Amino acid sequence: MAPPPQPPSSTITFIIFSSFLHLALGGTIGVNYGRIANNLPNPTQVIQLLNTTGITHIKLFDTDPTVIQTLSGTGISTIVALPNDHLSSAATNQTYTDTWVQSNILPYTQTTTITAIAVGNEVFSDPNNTTSFLIPAMKNIHASLTKHNLTIKVSSPVALNALDNSYPPSAGSFKPEVIEQVIKPMLRFLRDTNSYFMLNAYPYFAYEANPDTISLDYALFRDNTGDVDPNTGLVYKSLLEAQLDAVYAAMDALQFNDVKIVVTETGWPSSGDPDEIGAGKDNAGQYNGNLVRRAVSGGGTPLRPNDDLNVYLFALFNENQKPGPTSERNYGLFYPNEEKVYDVPLSFVAVNGSTVG
Ligand SMILES: *[C@@H]1O[C@H](CO)[C@@H](O)[C@H](O)[C@H]1NC(C)=O
Ligand SMILES: *[C@@H]1O[C@H](CO)[C@@H](O)[C@H](O)[C@H]1NC(C)=O
Ligand SMILES: *[C@@H]1O[C@H](CO)[C@@H](O)[C@H](O)[C@H]1NC(C)=O
Ligand SMILES: *[C@@H]1O[C@H](CO)[C@@H](O)[C@H](O)[C@H]1NC(C)=O
Ligand SMILES: *[C@@H]1O[C@H](CO)[C@@H](O)[C@H](O)[C@H]1NC(C)=O
Ligand SMILES: *[C@@H]1O[C@H](CO)[C@@H](O)[C@H](O)[C@H]1NC(C)=O
């Protein structure tokens, strides 16, 4: 299942060095701006807050015009989204996607840096089962963008539970029921349009479900001896990288070894119910901090060593109106009053004081 528990690593002290992300040559760090809450600051305040973090990439869950307008002129790279409840219309009605692009994308392309559209979100887990609409909706959105010569990428965030098997990473495979209907046509589309696979991956879920077999050090990117994939001999130092390579292996098995992955959501809750093992501020700070340090220092996963890790943290704020267990409302880097939930510098100085990267 997973590597044996490792002894705790020595405490790593991070020091804020605010301009660091601008200098980094490695992967990019973005953040999800979720808004399922009734107490968040207004978008202008939010973009100012984002500016203080040095984060230059943001992902939205819709195309709220106020938010997109607030991003104009900032140069912040923005992923917008077509929500799941639009998928059936988008799949069946080209006029619908033409109109959607004209109203929600076209007015902003001169001033807001919209780089991608997430069409739907984790549709395989949508209780309304929008799976069958996904591929036609992606194609229609792409066709509508092409009419205006827009080269914005089109993709759709897939949750890690689309995998049937993820261990060892080399044996990664998609669930049989989604392969022919969705995954293969999606990968073909992503390849043909030079887009990328959007993956939502949370090592926390795996750790929380298997705290006896998964080492916390491995889940949190702390020092550990690593886990060897017996099929490849590759050594994994973090659960997120193992999860990424399980998806890469699943794609390879379908002969799509040229499509890249961007992690569109990952994070760790700073609070949870008593049975949510591992939730807490210290672990959340270490997960996000170590992940950022890992990504900006460059280099990819064992299977894709040259592809830097590009990740979008989930999320900017704690969101008080999210349903589910306590953890769901506690993924934020910030409280709604803009105070940090924990002291995670989003830019770093390494253990011995030298800059990373
Ligand atoms: C923050 O705002 C300043 C002033 O507008 C700008 O020069 C800088 O590039 C911004 N930083 C980020 C990360 O957006
Ligand atoms: C297709 O979408 C357009 C634009 O939203 C709408 O006016 C029209 O009624 C839709 N057609 C059908 C058949 O739903
Ligand atoms: C499912 O669809 C119904 C009817 O369109 C809608 O009211 C509801 O919000 C949807 N549920 C989810 C989880 O999207
Ligand atoms: C969702 O719909 C697809 C067909 O589009 C079907 O294959 C699948 O079994 C459905 N899943 C659920 C959970 O109903
Ligand atoms: C798109 O590009 C083509 C070729 O450069 C050009 O003929 C056409 O007018 C452009 N269309 C729009 C809507 O800009
Ligand atoms: C200290 O920094 C140097 C230069 O970046 C690096 O090569 C070395 O591995 C670091 N030592 C530790 C213990 O991190």
Q: Give a yes or no: residue 343 inside a domain.
A: no
Q: How many domains does the chain have?
A: 1
Check if 106 has its Cβ closer than 6 Å to any atom of ligand 5. Answer: no
Is the pLDDT at 293 greater than 60? The verdict is: yes
Cα 342–chain centre separation: 20
**pLDDT band at 7; cut points 50, 70, 90:** very low
d(CA 67, CA 6): 44
d(CA 243, CA 250): 11
Cα of 182 vs centre of ligand 3, distance in Å, is 21
Q: Give a yes or no: residue 292 inside a domain.
A: yes
What average pLDDT does this structure show over 255-268?
98
Angle, nearest 10°, between helix axes 184-192 and 134-146? 10
For residue 54, the ligand 1 atom closest to its alpha carbon is: 13
Q: Which residues line ligand 2 (CB under 6 A)?
A: 93, 95-96, 99
- Ligand number with the minimum distance to the CA of 353: 6
Query: pLDDT above 90 covers what percent of the chain?
Result: 86
Q: Give a yes or no: residue 307 inside a domain.
A: yes
Is the pLDDT at 18 greater than 90? The verdict is: no
Instruction: Give the strand pairing for 173-174 and 197-200.
Output: unpaired
41-82 pLDDT tens trace: 999 999 999 988 888 999 999 999 999 999 999 999 999 999
- Ligand number with the minimum distance to the CA of 93: 2
Cα of 31 vs centre of ligand 6, distance in Å, is 28
**pLDDT band at 25; cut points 50, 70, 90:** low
Cα of 113 vs centre of ligand 1, distance in Å, is 14
Q: Give a yes or no: residue 244 inside a domain.
A: yes
- Please check whether residue 31 is in contact with residue 316, taking contact to mean a CB–CB distance below 8 angstroms: yes
Mutate to test the pocket of ligand 4, among 122, 129, 181 (most ligand atoms within 8 A of CB): 129
Check if 350 has its Cβ closer than 6 Å to any atom of ligand 6. Answer: yes
DSSP code string of 13-56: -----TTHHHH--S--EEEE-----SSPPPHHHHHHHHHHHT--
Mutate to test the pocket of ligand 1, among 51, 76, 346 (most ligand atoms within 8 A of CB): 51
> Which of helix, strand or coil describes residue 119?
strand
Q: Which residues line ligand 4 (CB under 6 A)?
A: 129, 131-132
Q: Give a yes or no: residue 337 inside a domain.
A: no
Mutate to test the pocket of ligand 3, among 128, 130, 321 (most ligand atoms within 8 A of CB): 128
CA distances from 59 to 66, 78, 172, 263, 264 (A): 15, 6, 27, 11, 8
Which of 27-42 are b and which e, b meaning 16 or more Cβ less than 10 Å from the residue's Cβ? bbbbbbbbbeeeebee
Catalytic residue numbers, as ranges: 122, 265
- Please check whether residue 329 is in contact with residue 270, taking contact to mean a CB–CB distance below 8 angstroms: no
- Ligand number with the minimum distance to the CA of 103: 2
DSSP H or E segment with residue 281: helix 281-296
Determine which of 11-25, 269-283, 314-328 has the lowest per-residue pLDDT on average.
11-25
What average pLDDT does this structure show over 157-166?
98
d(CA 256, CA 180): 13
- 141 forms beta bridges with none
Question: Which amino acid is residue 158, in one-letter code?
Answer: V
Is the pLDDT at 3 greater than 60? The verdict is: no
Q: Give a yes or no: residue 87 inside a domain.
A: yes
**pLDDT band at 344; cut points 50, 70, 90:** confident
Sign of torsion over alpha carbons 179, 182, 185, 189: negative
> Mean of the per-residue pLDDT values for the chain?
91
Check if 148 has its Cβ closer than 6 Å to any atom of ligand 5. Answer: yes
pLDDT at site 357: 29
Q: Give a yes or no: residue 125 inside a domain.
A: yes
Check if 354 has its Cβ closer than 6 Å to any atom of ligand 6. Answer: yes
Structure-token pair, residue 4: 């044996």
For residue 147, the ligand 5 atom closest to its alpha carbon is: 13
- CATH number for the domain that contains residue 112: 3.20.20.80
**pLDDT band at 346; cut points 50, 70, 90:** low
pLDDT at site 52: 86
Which residues span the domain enclosing 210? Answer: 9-329
Q: Give a yes or no: residue 229 inside a domain.
A: yes
